[in-house]
């Protein structure tokens, strides 16, 4: 069995300016933050971020990495609106491409199925058709009078997710309450599909801890690299391994209040090696 184990910087080395990157997780839950921090420290620019967004999008906006954002929401869960995303959006620093949650899911599913679009009734009569230039309407081939919204497949150049466990080949499991559509993100990107996990374990242990095939939704054919990083989702949650670090998240949100506050937070928590980040979190 070929090992796919990498470091965060190995993942970043396979990314280039202008890529569309899908990031798994949901709001401030099970985000691949160690890889996001590595991207934030890199020279990458002009990225399109596709995400059920939380601090992944906000942090990359704050560090000037984002040109476009595809998202159905941008939330820190316990803090309703992601503040660094809000600041970038209000300042006109990013191109805003809004989606309804159902439409967003269809864009991922269409990409995973390798079809150009999927139809839906969602959005008919709404301003989404005015504000999202990628949306079109189509007529049903079975009833020409029946109009539908055509949601285009998201064209991802890479996908990055965080799960609880994986083996060296890239089979991975989630142990918390929800997969958060991470399987669709990984299927939607034809190459450069990466997962960070709390632990890399033997395949037999992976299956035993998962306890059910329903938790083995990410297979090795969907993954090109595995990063083993305990605490790799912090400060977001990764249940049952740990809950969200509400204190650090509050500090992060507060850093959006001024350039000086952001510079101090960035120096203390972002511009440091990942191992130092984990050590500082553990010492809190």
Q: Which residues contact 143 (CB under 8 A, 6 or more apart)?
A: none
Task: Identify the pLDDT of residue 146.
Answer: 82
The two beta strands, 117-120 and 147-152, are: antiparallel
pLDDT surpasses 80 at 107? yes
Share of the chain above pLDDT 90, in %: 87
For residue range 232-265, list pLDDT tens digits in order.
999 999 999 999 999 999 999 999 999 999 999 9
The residue-averaged pLDDT of 259-274 equals 97
Report residue 35's pLDDT band, with 50, 70 and 90 as the boundaries: very high
The residue-averaged pLDDT of 181-209 equals 95
Q: Which domains does the chain have, with CATH numbers?
A: 5-98+155-210+217-273 (3.40.1080.10), 117-152 (no CATH)
Tokens of 214: 């329903």
Task: Identify the pLDDT of residue 142.
Answer: 86
The residue-averaged pLDDT of 62-69 equals 98
Tokens of 68: 């476009």
Q: Nearest CA to 207 among 224, 193, 220?
A: 220
Task: Identify the pLDDT of residue 156.
Answer: 98
For residue range 147-160, list pLDDT tens digits in order.
999 999 999 999 99
The residue-averaged pLDDT of 185-203 equals 97
Task: Identify the pLDDT of residue 80.
Answer: 96
Contact in structure between 195 and 226 (CB atoms under 8 Å)? yes
For residue range 109-128, list pLDDT tens digits in order.
999 999 999 999 998 988 88
Task: Identify the pLDDT of residue 145.
Answer: 77
Contact in structure between 28 and 236 (CB atoms under 8 Å)? yes
Q: At what angle do helices 55-62 and 33-41 cross, to 10 degrees?
A: 10
**Half-sphere exposure in the Cβ direction for 8 (13 Å, CA):** 21
The residue-averaged pLDDT of 22-39 equals 98
Task: Identify the pLDDT of residue 91.
Answer: 96
Task: Identify the pLDDT of residue 2.
Answer: 87
Task: Identify the pLDDT of residue 257.
Answer: 96
Share of the chain above pLDDT 70, in %: 99
Report the alpha-carbon distance of residue 102 to residue 98 in Å, rounded: 12
The residue-averaged pLDDT of 172-193 equals 96
pLDDT surpasses 90 at 209? no
Quote the mean pLDDT of the chain: 95
pLDDT surpasses 90 at 140? no
Task: Identify the pLDDT of residue 101.
Answer: 94
Task: Identify the pLDDT of residue 207.
Answer: 84
């Amino acid at each position: 069995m070929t090992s796919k184990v990498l470091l965060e910087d190995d993942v970043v080395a396979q990314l280039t300016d202008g890529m569309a990157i899908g990031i798994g997780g949901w709001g401030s839950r099970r985000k691949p933050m160690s890889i996001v921090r590595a991207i934030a420290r890199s020279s990458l620019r002009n990225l399109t971020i596709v995400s059920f967004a939380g601090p992944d999008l906000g942090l990359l906006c704050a560090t000037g990495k984002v040109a476009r954002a595809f998202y159905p929401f941008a939330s820190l869960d316990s803090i309703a609106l992601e503040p660094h995303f809000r600041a970038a959006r209000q300042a006109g620093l990013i191109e805003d491409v809004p989606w309804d949650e159902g439409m967003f899911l269809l864009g991922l599913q269409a990409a995973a199925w390798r079809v150009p679009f999927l139809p839906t009734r969602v959005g008919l009569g709404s301003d989404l058709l005015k504000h999202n230039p990628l949306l079109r309407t189509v007529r049903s081939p079975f009833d020409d009078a029946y109009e539908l919204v055509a949601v285009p497949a998201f064209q991802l150049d890479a996908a990055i997710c965080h799960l609880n466990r994986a083996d060296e080949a890239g089979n991975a499991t989630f142990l918390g309450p929800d997969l958060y559509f991470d399987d669709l993100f990984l299927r939607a990107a034809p190459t450069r599909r990466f997962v960070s996990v709390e632990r890399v374990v033997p395949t037999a242990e992976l299956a035993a801890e998962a306890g059910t095939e329903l938790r083995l939704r990410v297979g090795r054919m969907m993954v090109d690299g595995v990063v083993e990083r305990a605490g790799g989702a912090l400060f977001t949650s990764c249940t049952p391994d740990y809950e969200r670090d509400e204190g650090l998240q509050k500090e992060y949100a507060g850093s959006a209040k001024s350039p000086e506050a952001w510079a101090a937070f960035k120096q203390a928590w972002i511009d440091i090696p990942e191992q130092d980040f984990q050590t500082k979190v553990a010492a809190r």
